[in-house]
Chain A
Amino acid sequence: MAILRAMPLARAVGCCLAAASLLTGLDGAITAQEVGAAELKAAFLSNFAKFTEWPAATPAVGQPFQFCVIGDGSVAVALEQALSRQPARDTRKVTLIKLDGPLGRCQLVYAAGLDSRQMAQLIASVRGQPVFTVAENAHFAEAGGVAQLIEEGGRFRFAINADAAQRNHLSLHARLLSLAKLVKDGPDATR
């Protein structure tokens, strides 16, 4: 910081910021309520998996539980980090895939940036298979997706389509359902 030393004004500003960061440190209890969007989404995904039961043979014996992420590397990174802090980390794996990748091998798929046609493609391609689908598209759950993340004023809620979960042989805990906005198949649902 030789540059800063040379300048009284710069030093003043530097001190100000240092003081500010100290203050905010003390203030951590309040400000820490803000997190990165990717971290928050990853935490939701991790919780969805926690409160869902897959059929007995899923994943196959010896295979890790597969979280698959389409279209948003930052969520994959955040999820990988979140899982690495939890016990039994070796039994779960995060993979970045494409929409036309091997979706059937995933237990949970989070897809970002899909248009409405791609959204329908995702739902159709795992229909009847034990795959928990998550996206943020409007009406994703009505269209036959299992869970839809909904951002409102910087906070996230989620919608669940229990029929879609049942079609994919997933059993959802009451805890998950009690917090979700419950939706049914819409007229255009990919059944």
Chain B
Amino acid sequence: MGMLRGTRIGALLAALAVAADAAAQAPTVDLGKVTLEELMNLRVTVAGRRDQIVADAPAAVYVLTREDIRRSGATTIPEVLRLVPGVQVARINASKWAVSVRGFNGLFSNKLLVLVDGRSVYSHLFSGALWDGEDLVLDDVARIEVIRGPGAVNWGANAVNGVINIVTRSAADTQGTFVRAATGTFEPGVLVLRHGATAGRTAYRLYGRWSGQGATSLTDGSAAGDQWQRATVGMRLDRAAGGHAFTLTANATHGSADALWLTGAPGSNRVSTMNRGAIVARWTVDRASGAQLQMQTSLDGDVRDEPVGLYRRQMAEVDVQYHVRIAARHDVVLGGSVRVDHERFDGRDGPFALTPPSATDRLGSTFVQDEITVTPRLVVTGGARIEHDHFAGWGLQPTARVMFTPGARHHVWAATSRALRTPSLQDLNLRATLPGPDGLPLPASTELSGDPALSPETLSDVEAGYRVAVGRAATVSATAFVAHYTKLRTQEPGEPTLSFGAAGPYLVIPVSFDDLAAARTRGVEFNAEWRPAPVLRVDGSLTTFALTPSVAPESRDAAAAVFDGDTPARQANLHVAGDLPRGILADARVFYVGALRNAAVPAYTRLDARFEVPLTRALSLAVIGQNLSSPGHAEFDGISAQVQATRVPRSGRLMLSWRF
């Protein structure tokens, strides 16, 4: 789906960076004075390829290019996402991340949809992406498209606050052999082997990746013992002939970690193991009329053996999309998908269980979107998705968007949408026994239970944006949004009962999930990029966010009334990238992340730096320093997700890459 959906979005802001202005001449080539012969000798910068991903998108879109990913110094997908303006990435401990857009962050950020090549990696049990399971070779990633704001029409359920779509490179682009080895103070080792070749009109690649991650540290400086390792093998095959294109990907990952679950039975094995795999087949047909038909089917399996229980999932999905131009003005995309998702969780010794322990969700949806070119400068888009979920019933998710292009340098857009977050299995069927609150006359325990009658959480939002090219080499993008959420989850305590155990009497407080909260969020997002010279790039972003909760009078959930989205009021970053002589690439980044009020995580500043030196034509060495400004800092609080949060240490790493 990546390809078709990819045509819906784009990053004009970056493309506009090529704008040149006579008033501010920098030491670069004046293409107006260059002869045709000279033109043919000029080389396109790799960075310039960003503008190949271009569409006039009436949405807050950012595209991380391969070059961005390479220069990030990151080795995992969530760490790369720190680069994206408006995305909040917080590392909870060595193997767990909280990643969200526009609020509601957590280990399971349930309003953010994550896709890899169009395949949803959103878990229905927890409602959220399991980042530790997505073990990609970062060099194989073509781009990461990030949409802030709802994308339900094109992308489906749970694309409420944002969509992250990771698009991998065609096998035709990864020919030859690639070896990468890295070692460092925090990550003891990364080893990547990849080989690509062609057979007739078919290109393929095979790859393997092993990575070990070191332990983070506790507040007192001691090691948290949360080191983990993963190994992945995979392949991709691409074949194209006569208007037909076929892609097959398959991968399998094994990992083991101590995720620092707070709720395991005392003395029990604390190590979590994960075995997961996926197969995706996609077939694209370009019809004689110019229309395009795309069919994709995927199979996904996941087994996670955690101290708290055994989680198993099998999922199958079929997705069809059709893109056609009707009359002169209508650009229509329509499609549908069917998904069967079987999940089972068997609690072990610990406090969590599902009743019933397994569930099968059947989800069907269909959507249509029409992009109407009213005039060349004014494009109006309307669309809606109708979805039926086995648990949540019918849902309608419409959107209306308008894009106005008063001049080639200015783009103004506005949009309003409605999107749904379907209830997760734990919302519906959870049974958990957790320690009760302190300060009561008797010891207490809390009996938490899901509510099978919960309705989906609903978002209605309005957003608007402006992108402009300033001077010859700068672009600025600004977006503002106001969103209203209803039927947000609350935890409602009931009347306590008295029980008698071996240690004497204790109180049992029943707590059930309900949907009595609402919230209003608002924020502005700025990002800018400036290329004063072809070899120098400066970019930065600033994001503000505020959440105002409101709770129905009958609710007794004290936490919901002060909820702040676990998102900082402000975050910002600044990046300077220089292409030095002899092919040396230098990058420095500063990140500022404001305090998390409820989670009591202080604001922090993080500094990363990276140098890459080509040793020979085939071999390059990178020296990477991360979190250089402090010996360690906390980024999140794991209590709500029942994992222990730790401190991210300062780290250094050496990385060798060899292509032949």
* A28 contacts the other chain (CB 8 A): yes
> Is residue B615 within 8 Å, beta carbon to beta carbon, of the partner chain?
no
Q: Are B44 and A24 in contact (CB under 8 A)?
A: no
A35-B31, A43-B32, A86-B32 are known contacts. Are A76 and B44 too (CB-CB below 8 A)? no
Q: Which residues of A contact B579 (CB under 8 A)?
A: 24, 31
A10 near B590 with CB under 8 A, answer yes
- B170 CB to closest chain A CB, in angstroms? 15
Question: Contact between B534 and A117 (Cβ–Cβ < 8 Å)?
Answer: no
Contacts of B43 in A (CB 8 A): 33-35, 153-155
A82-B31, A86-B32, A175-B36 are contacts. A155–B586 as well, Cβ < 8 Å? no
A80 within 8 A of B: yes
Knowing A151-B44, A179-B36, the reply to whether A33 touches B376 (Cβ < 8 A) is no
- A3 pairs with B36, CB closer than 8 A: no
User: Cβ of B408 and Cβ of A85 under 8 Å apart?
Assistant: no
CA distance A81 to B409 in the complex (A): 10
Known: A33-B29, A73-B408. A78 touches B19 (CB 8 A): yes
Given the complex, which residues of A lie within 8 Å of B56, measured CB to CB? 73
B529 → chain A closest CB, angstroms: 12
**Is B257 an interface position by the 8 A CB rule?**
no
Complex interface: chain A residues within 8 A of B453 (CB) = none
Given the interface pairs A34-B43, A100-B328, the reply to whether A42 lies near B31 with Cβ below 8 Å is yes
B32–A24 contact, CB under 8 A? no
**Bound-state Cα–Cα, A32 to B27, Å:** 7
Binds B, one of A12-20, A54-62, A183-191: A12-20
The CA-CA distance from A115 to B292 in the complex, in Å, is 10
A118 interface residue (CB < 8 Å to B): yes
Q: Are B328 and A36 in contact (CB under 8 A)?
A: no
Instruction: Enumerate A100-119 residues with CB–CB distance to B below 8 Å.
Output: 100-101, 112, 115-118
Docked pose: A91 CA to B32 CA in angstroms: 16
Q: What's the least CB distance linking B21 to chain A, in Å?
A: 6
| Chain A residue, CB-CB nearest to B650 | A9
Which residues of chain B have C-beta atoms less than 8 A from A76's C-beta? 408
Query: Is there contact, CB below 8 Å, between B288 and A7?
Result: no
**When the two chains form their complex, are residues A36 and B51 in contact, meaning their CB atoms are under 8 A apart?**
yes
A11 to chain B minimum Cβ distance, whole angstroms, is 10
Q: Which of B533-575 contact A (CB under 8 A)?
A: 533-536
Are B16 and A77 in contact, with the CB atoms below 8 A?
Answer: yes
Q: A3-B605, A117-B288 are in contact. Are A35 and B586 (CB under 8 A)?
A: no
A92 within 8 A of B: no
Find chain B residues with CB under 8 A from A179 CB.
Answer: 36-37, 40
Contact B44 A74, beta carbon cutoff 8 Å = no
Closest-CB distance, A71 to chain B (whole angstroms): 8
Residue A66 at the B interface, CB < 8 A?
A: no
**Which A residues touch B70, using CB under 8 A?**
none
Interface string of B12-55 (1 = CB under 8 A from A): 10011111111000011111101011011111111111011010
Known contacts A37-B52, A73-B54; A13/B286 CB under 8 A: no
Looking at the assembled complex, report how far the CB atom of A172 sits from the nearest CB atom of chain B, in whole angstroms: 12
A90 within 8 A of B: no
Cβ contacts A25-60/B at 8 Å (1 or 0 each): 101100111111111101110110001000000000
| Distance between Cα atoms of A157 and B22 in the complex (Å) | 27
* A129 at the B interface (CB under 8 A): no
Cα-based distance from A4 to B576 in the complex (angstroms): 13
B32 and A14 contacting across the interface, CB-CB below 8 Å = no
| Interface flag for A94 (CB, 8 Å) | yes
Asked if residues A10 and B607 are in contact (CB atoms below 8 Å), the reply is yes
Q: In the assembled complex, which residues on chain A have CB atoms less than 8 Å from the CB atom of B49?
A: 37
User: Would you call B580 an interface residue if the criterion is a C-beta within 8 Å of the partner chain's C-beta atoms?
Assistant: yes
B45 touching A34, Cβ below 8 Å:
yes
In chain A, positions 124-164 with a C-beta closer than 8 Å to chain B are 151, 153-157
Chain B residue contacts of A31, Cβ below 8 A:
533-535, 579, 581
Q: What's the nearest-Cβ distance from chain A to residue B622, in Å?
A: 15
**Set B27, B329, B469, B535: member contacting A77, Cβ < 8 A:** B469
In the complex, which of the residues B32, B36, B40, B629 contacts A82, with contact meaning CB atoms closer than 8 Å?
B32
Looking at the complex, which one of A14, A24, A101, A157 makes contact with B581 (CB distance below 8 Å)?
A: A24
Residue of A nearest to B590 (CB): A3
A155 touches B41 (CB 8 A): yes
Q: Which residue of B lies closest to A157 (CB)?
A: B40
CB distance from A126 to the nearest CB of B (A): 16
**How many Å from the CB of A95 to the closest CB on chain B?**
7
Given A37-B44, A38-B51, residue A24 in contact with residue B535 (CB < 8 A): yes
Q: How distant is the Cα of A24 from the Cα of B26 in the complex, in angstroms?
A: 13
Q: Are B533 and A85 touching (Cβ within 8 A)?
A: no
Taken together as a complex, chains A and B put the C-alpha atoms of A82 and B28 apart, in Å, by 13
Give the distance to chain B from A46, nearest Cβ to Cβ, in Å: 7
- A73 in contact with B27 (CB, 8 Å): no
Q: Is the CB of A94 within 8 A of B408?
A: yes
Question: CB < 8 Å: which of A44, A81, A115 contacts B286?
Answer: A115
9 contacts between A and B (CB under 8 A): A4-B590, A13-B609, A17-B576, A17-B588, A37-B18, A43-B39, A72-B54, A74-B51, A85-B32
Task: Give 3 closest A-B pairs by Cβ, nearest first.
Answer: A74-B15, A36-B48, A43-B31
A residues neighboring B (CB under 8 Å): 3-4, 6-7, 9-10, 13-14, 16-17, 20-21, 23-25, 27-28, 31-40, 42-44, 46-47, 51, 71-74, 76-78, 80-82, 84-86, 94-101, 112, 115-118, 121, 151, 153-157, 175-176, 179
* B contacts, CB < 8 Å to A: 12, 15-22, 27-32, 34, 36-37, 39-49, 51-52, 54, 56, 243, 286-290, 292, 325, 328-329, 373, 376, 405, 408-409, 469, 472, 533-536, 576, 578-581, 586, 588, 590, 592, 605, 607, 609, 628-629
Q: Knowing that A81-B19, A100-B325 are A-B contacts, what are 5 other residue pairs whose CB atoms are under 8 Å apart, sorted by A's residue number? A: A31-B534, A40-B31, A43-B32, A73-B405, A82-B31
